[in-house]
């Protein structure tokens, strides 16, 4: 289409932030930090390369995901352990915080709950910021690598995409079939993944993650959590992500419980206050 005469003026309109987040409840970071200082490790597990692990985090505890052995991206799912229908809502988290999340930001849950499931309390990659390509770390824009898209685009039958890894791990954890577990798998937080959108075509891109051995992302569990973490077959996601071609490393998950009384005064997040009537 040919441009209208006022095209430049229309493009020059200043953007408006969709969800100004200055009214979001502020997490009590000082209290979290103090509670973390005296916390003791109560469990740990590893996601093996091209596999997923599950882990449980009691409400009021912390969990840390660490890079071990080599640069590796992880795909994280979170559920309310006591009601799996409440799960991480990547799209709304993106709308509230932006395309990538870091310390002080939260993983929000699905409707009708819409409350924080977890708050990021430490991020050793927070220095990265936004690079010259528009890339940043820990994205909530990607979905999870999956065998269906691979088949659509290349006709492949690849079984160790994050979607399948998460499905098998959740099925084993719950003692149900893969078919029962699969619908519970959802869009992820891409831990350590460096991504953005190209400025010219708006396409989703990835690039080699800046993560190095010893880097970690740490969370406070706002509710009782069930987590599943896949060590993506893309490794550091520098080239591809739906094959066995990339170098892949494990990811370490550790759970820490604060000393009793350390969270004195902390109030657990209530379910969303909307009355649910939808105007009826």
For Zn ion, the binding residues (CB under 5 A) are: 75, 145, 162, 232
Residue 160 CB, nearest approach to Zn ion (Å): 9
Helix residue ranges per DSSP H, the chain: 7-11, 29-37, 90-97, 147-154, 162-174, 178-181
In the complex with Zn ion, which residue's Cβ is closer, 118 or 162? 162
Residue among 248 and 255 whose Cβ is closer to Zn ion: 248
Sheet holding 106-108, edge to edge: 40-47, 251-257, 62-67, 216-221, 116-123, 106-108
| N-term to C-term CA, the chain | 44
C-beta of 52 vs 96, nearer to Zn ion? 52
Cβ neighbours for 181, distance < 8 A, ≥ 6 positions apart: 167, 168, 170, 171, 174
**Closer CB to Zn ion, residue 75 or residue 254?**
75
Comparing CB distances to Zn ion, the nearer of 75 and 86 is 75
How far apart CA 215 and CA 74 sit, in angstroms, is: 13
**Nearest-approach distance from CB 243 to Zn ion, in angstroms:** 11
Measured CA to CA, the distance from residue 120 to residue 117 in angstroms comes to 10
Residue 166 CB, nearest distance to Zn ion (Å)? 9
CB of 144 vs Zn ion, minimal distance in Å: 6
């Amino acid at each position: 289409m040919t441009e209208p005469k006022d095209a430049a003026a229309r493009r020059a309109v200043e953007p408006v932030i969709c969800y100004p987040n200055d009214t979001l409840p502020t997490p009590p970071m000082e209290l979290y930090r103090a509670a973390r200082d005296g916390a003791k490790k109560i469990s740990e597990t590893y996601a093996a390369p091209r596999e997923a692990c599950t882990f449980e985090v009691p409400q009021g505890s912390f969990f840390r995901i660490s890079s071990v052995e080599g640069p590796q991206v992880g795909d994280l799912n979170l559920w309310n352990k006591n009601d799996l229908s409440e799960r991480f809502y990547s799209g709304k988290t993106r709308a509230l915080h932006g395309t990538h999340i870091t310390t002080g930001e939260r993983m929000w849950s699905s409707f009708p709950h819409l409350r924080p499931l977890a708050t990021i309390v430490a991020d050793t990659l927070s220095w990265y910021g936004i690079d010259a390509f528009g890339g940043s770390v820990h994205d909530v824009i990607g979905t999870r690598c999956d065998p269906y898209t691979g088949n659509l685009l290349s006709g492949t039958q690849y079984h160790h995409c994050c979607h399948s890894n998460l499905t098998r791990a959740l099925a084993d954890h719950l003692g149900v079939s893969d078919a029962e577990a699969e619908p519970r798998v959802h869009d992820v937080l891409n831990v350590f993944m460096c991504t953005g959108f190209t400025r010219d075509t708006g396409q989703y891109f990835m690039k080699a993650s800046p993560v190095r051995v010893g880097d970690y992302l740490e969370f406070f569990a706002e509710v009782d959590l069930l987590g599943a973490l896949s060590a993506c077959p893309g490794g550091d996601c520098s080239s591809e992500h739906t094959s066995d071609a990339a170098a892949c490393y494990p990811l370490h998950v550790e759970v820490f419980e604060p000393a009793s009384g350390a969270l004195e005064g902390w109030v657990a997040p209530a379910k969303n206050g909307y009355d649910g009537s939808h105007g009826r």
